[in-house]
Structure 1
């Protein structure tokens, strides 16, 4: 892999001076306010103030809460409905005022910083325009404007304004927008394949899925109609026309109850004939073929397009990684971590021969191996316990009989005694300050305390009302000790690091998904609040409140029976379920549920997969022979042993000892003849030694540089150039850039 020459990024062009007065109407907001106009500059100061943005954010959240409360089931004459109407007017007035202030400050359309030149402002303006239009139609009560009242349902889009004001959500939306070209190409391929299967399905199954709904035993359409019954298709599952066929195939693609549609196809006898069960029908091959082609191949192309776009954006924004080789990128990441790394305080060796002996014992590698072995055996023992475990008896080799429960308790007592002993030895040798200065020791102390509380539970219950559930939770915490294995196993640490690195972007995706679910729940409440309750849309899963709607959509986004929810939302008057006070379903349910599945399942859930894959790939692609950011922790721990006070300096003579304590690739710990190798590296190390002392950062960078020079194709001048560039970038103070989008 040839190293790519590193070029400094070009400087952005200078921004124009917008305070220079220009001839009318150039840079005149609304053709009235010039760049130096006092009113315009006052409005600009006002809308740029952080408190103004926080106020608007609060108003958006408050308006979203009012949307969640404003249910169609409320009595129009109730005081709550009147208050909600009034608050809607107030919120709309505030949003209109915000838009006017920004239009005056930046111009509406033709100025350099025009309000409508920003995409988020366009979204805000459209939502405000809808709100004003609906209020005008309601207040004026003109018959010609009556159809505009139906736009009231679009108020559910108000929470979308949060996206433009929360940076983490803007990043996710920018990724999705960037993936639109690739997704459109995939969509064209997918629709073509689906259309082919839809036409084929129409040729094979048109008119064959219908049956007599009142009496399924009737075999023909003529007999059903003669008996005064209804002959119709199952909801959402037919190939009678192209639209129905496309919908049926999409429902199968989601994997929800696809086997039901397959059995329906297998049972098909012919047009006008009721389906009859047939376990050996070759028609099953049609559905199976579509699942392979549509669900496993074509639909996953969407995932590939989104993941590829996400990785491309990450590469372009990740410290120039799109123009660097793997070794260059790993070196840049290492330097960034090394520049920011500081020596941490260690545990100073105690005074006294007894404490020193125990100190060396508990700090040794063999002691850690012993404790990890005990933890693994303890975990294995806990996994062996089962229901009524205490009542089973067994006989030992010596003939002594005891129950399995007694043996389990004796073994658990042994393990807990080991943990108590470990705590006592460490607190004695390290001292309280030294013991609690180590994170893993604090972790162990919490678990020791829970074990102690569990031991005293029998005595505590006599004096305090301790619930048994709490005691079971405390016992369960014992298994958390297995996390200590992470301390010594690098592979497991990398996996946990992947999870930790993925948490912020996954949280961002989940936040945006929750926002979309809230919008759909509000929209569903206005569309289906009065929908008749049935088998799937029932008393707990419905759209009568936003809370119930969120639960229903959570069920839908997991793919659990969402096609049944769609079928209940399509119920017709012929079913006889629609009575006074409740409504039948509507065709609107089809775009409602289909679009939510597209956004919720295909986009957001797979975006989480992209985030985790990107972080896992970045770790797995690192060259283990070269230094990576995770290797710096080992250096910091070794330095803390020799410099427990974190003075940032060590005598030059201690360099070999330091290198021998650091694990590879920075040091020689664990290697054959580690001491001699460490002395050899120390002699060749290019590090400044003023007064016979070496500094933390100098040694860390020198060891990293030597490893890259020895194990990579990158020349030393190239490495030093990258080091200088990254050090300057990390060390320089950040300046607040002017925000041209308000």
Structure 2
């Protein structure tokens, strides 16, 4: 039987099924999938570059990155009991008379140019010895022999040597003695090397991500010629990292450019919404009574005074520091109080001049009122020092949150600073448009966090020598756990997010490899490629495209505002002849905007209906169904020989508003063509029942709830749980229930759509492929658990 624990790790893909519930997120995934052909060529080029630099690294530095400074000129014998680490008293005896403890009376064969007449098979070190070579730990660097090129040479009295001879034969039997020389954090625990193509490719991959590449460069410079090591590292970064790796973002950005119309339609609707808000505020302001206070608060000089006060508030806040003298503290509090009075007066004047309703129409006024109220609350709780308050600085920590609100006043500069206001508006529209990416990022991090818990949970515990702790009660819990780990879900999520941001990800890689083996590197390589190189570049491409669309929308709004101003100016000339109430004028503004939004919505709806309907056979179709998450059925309008529908331009199918449609959706007529599983024809009652059930909105909601519950259960699982505890039994039972439910869902949809042969069959949709993969793997695990009588497989769980 296979390792069931590895099959159980496949269940972490269950949360990915929720992606089909968000059309915008499906569009992002579709863009990634569409870019795969071009990405395949880029990945091929990247692999070619990696292999070329890897081979070059092996030729230049192979065998050189394992030499460190030694306390003796040759290896010496281990104690009789072969304990590790070697006792200090025994080491002192060795250093006092090393010749008496010499391991092997033979040449060291440390460099290839000092091995005439020897080969790998005839080397005296071809048979590992029960010895060790004392390391000068305080030096901590790679070294080179004084007679060979190298950036670092050992101090006088030390010898530069390796635990391998010149032919790669290990010198010692004891594994700890072999690892001891390089098993330090400063040397990346011995994993950074060019001794073979596998290790070289891992080192190259770490370097091109620009994580710790300078340390790798210094190691090569210490162990070989400094100029060669520096030139190799700089060439690798410039060519492989700056040019080749950045081709990924170029490919993804190009794919987004080809899908621009669909996203621009969304941004247009958002821009219309922003226009509605701005025109409504402007229209309301146009017809307010012209009282003296109104003229005062709307005068440009009044705005300039408030701007100066905001800038002064920012300067005063920047002068706050710790520690601070009593006089400085008192002066700053006085300045804060004076500015607070200015802002309070501003708020009162605007309320009196504009009126309460008009005051609240401006979001900046609301924002300013919140900050002023927070300052007043702070002043009431902790009065300023000059008013006789006897509070100490240490007592104001609980109210520091209110003081932080003062800093946000700087955003009020956008009220009169047009370019800043437009920039903030573009940022707001961009943030709203990339919300789907946030959901995709969360699912990605969550899935890889669960996967990391399955692979590395409670394996990254080390003793004081940096070695994995034995799996026994006495020593395991005394081990040191690195801050970045996969023992719990919160730490796993934080660790995955750290890795995809590229910060010290190689450190986490080495910790996982120490606690497991070299195979752990595959998880981190996949995570960095998908998370950092692809997902983060997808975010950058989406951000740039959305910002460009938002910028076009803001400029369009400015043009509309100028036109609106001209229209209002012309309409004001007829006020004396035909007066119109403020309410009616505002209503007219809303009507114009409503018609614009409605027209846009109708165009989008028409395109969506055109794309959803199967018009190849325009016969009468009548169906009623709900929206589904990943079903292959859709709602269709009634069509009776619709000649007008057939006459629609073909390019409407590819127009804006159709890009977000689920690619797996087909018409009911297509879904019922042929026989599903060669048993159920189009008129089969079982097939119709399965179709009605699988397309019902309640069915989709229930399945989404099961996916969410299954994800929570996966997060609660821990390999250290007592298998006989109530929690472990409940989680195992729920796991079985979820496996059965997902298998039933798959069976129902297969009966409705067919398995693979029909048009629009179950496996024709990539979303269904994920569902089937997870459901079948869960069933295999469930079958193995139930059918194994001796419980040996259960022990693997």
| TM-score interval for Structure 1 and Structure 2 normalised by the shorter chain | 0.5 to 0.7
* Inter-CA distance 381–619: structure 2 relative to 1 (3 Å threshold): same
5 Å-filtered alignment, 1:321-720, equals: 343-344=280-281, 346=284, 356-391=291-326, 403-458=327-382, 468-534=396-462, 538=481, 540-571=483-514, 584-618=515-549, 628-632=556-560, 650-653=571-574
Name the CA distance, whole Å, in 2 between partners of 1:214 and 1:170: 59
Name the CA distance, whole Å, in 1 between partners of 2:276 and 2:335: 49
**Does the 8 Å CA contact 2:513/2:520 hold for their aligned counterparts?**
yes
Q: 2:228 aligns with which of 282, 299, 306?
A: 282
How far apart are residue 606 of structure 1 and its match? 2.0
**Does the 8 Å CA contact 2:500/2:532 hold for their aligned counterparts?**
yes
Could you say which residue in structure 2 is the equivalent of 1:6?
none
* Inter-CA distance 586–561: structure 2 relative to 1 (3 Å threshold): same
**Does the 8 Å CA contact 1:178/1:309 hold for their aligned counterparts?**
yes
**Does the 8 Å CA contact 1:349/1:356 hold for their aligned counterparts?**
no
**Does the 8 Å CA contact 1:420/1:448 hold for their aligned counterparts?**
yes
Local SS of the residue matching 2:350: helix
Name the CA distance, whole Å, in 2 between partners of 1:341 and 1:478: 26
Name the CA distance, whole Å, in 2 between partners of 1:619 and 1:514: 25
**Does the 8 Å CA contact 1:343/1:639 hold for their aligned counterparts?**
no
* Inter-CA distance 216–614: structure 2 relative to 1 (3 Å threshold): farther
Local SS of the residue matching 2:259: helix
Could you say which residue in structure 1 is the equivalent of 2:22?
166
Could you say which residue in structure 1 is the equivalent of 2:210?
255
Name the CA distance, whole Å, in 2 between partners of 1:209 and 1:488: 62
Name the CA distance, whole Å, in 2 between partners of 1:320 and 1:363: 35
Give the root-mean-square deviation of aligned CA atoms. Answer: 4.4
Local SS of the residue matching 1:219: strand
Q: 2:221 aligns with which of 254, 260, 266?
A: 266
Could you say which residue in structure 2 is the equivalent of 1:312?
258
* Inter-CA distance 619–215: structure 2 relative to 1 (3 Å threshold): farther
**Does the 8 Å CA contact 1:495/1:616 hold for their aligned counterparts?**
no
- Alignment TM-score, normalising by the size of structure 1: 0.58
Q: 2:192 aligns with which of 225, 230, 237?
A: 237
After TM superposition, the structure 1 stretch with the greater mean CA deviation from structure 2, 592-601 or 520-529, is 520-529
Name the CA distance, whole Å, in 2 between partners of 1:350 and 1:150: 71
Could you say which residue in structure 1 is the equivalent of 2:36?
180
How far apart are residue 696 of structure 1 and its match? 7.7
1:301 equivalent in alignment to 2:157? no
Gaps of 5+ in 1: 1-144, 270-277, 322-329, 392-402, 572-583, 643-648, 656-688, 705-723
Name the CA distance, whole Å, in 2 between partners of 1:485 and 1:364: 16
- Post-superposition CA distance 1:60-98 (Å, at most 9, x none): xxxxxxxxxxxxxxxxxxxxxxxxxxxxxxxxxxxxxxx
Could you say which residue in structure 1 is the equivalent of 2:13?
157
* Inter-CA distance 341–426: structure 2 relative to 1 (3 Å threshold): closer
Local SS of the residue matching 1:472: helix
Name the CA distance, whole Å, in 2 between partners of 1:298 and 1:731: 45
Name the CA distance, whole Å, in 1 between partners of 2:234 and 2:337: 56
Give the count of matched residue pairs: 491
- Post-superposition CA distance 1:35-54 (Å, at most 9, x none): xxxxxxxxxxxxxxxxxxxx
How far apart are residue 514 of structure 1 and its match? 1.8
After TM superposition, the structure 1 stretch with the greater mean CA deviation from structure 2, 467-476 or 545-554, is 467-476
**Does the 8 Å CA contact 2:19/2:26 hold for their aligned counterparts?**
yes
- Post-superposition CA distance 1:611-646 (Å, at most 9, x none): 221133335568x9xx61245457779999x9xxxx
Local SS of the residue matching 1:553: helix
How far apart are residue 407 of structure 1 and its match? 3.1
Gaps of 5+ in 2: 69-131, 137-159, 183-188, 469-479, 613-633, 636-664, 667-694, 696-797
Name the CA distance, whole Å, in 1 between partners of 2:545 and 2:328: 48
Local SS of the residue matching 1:208: coil
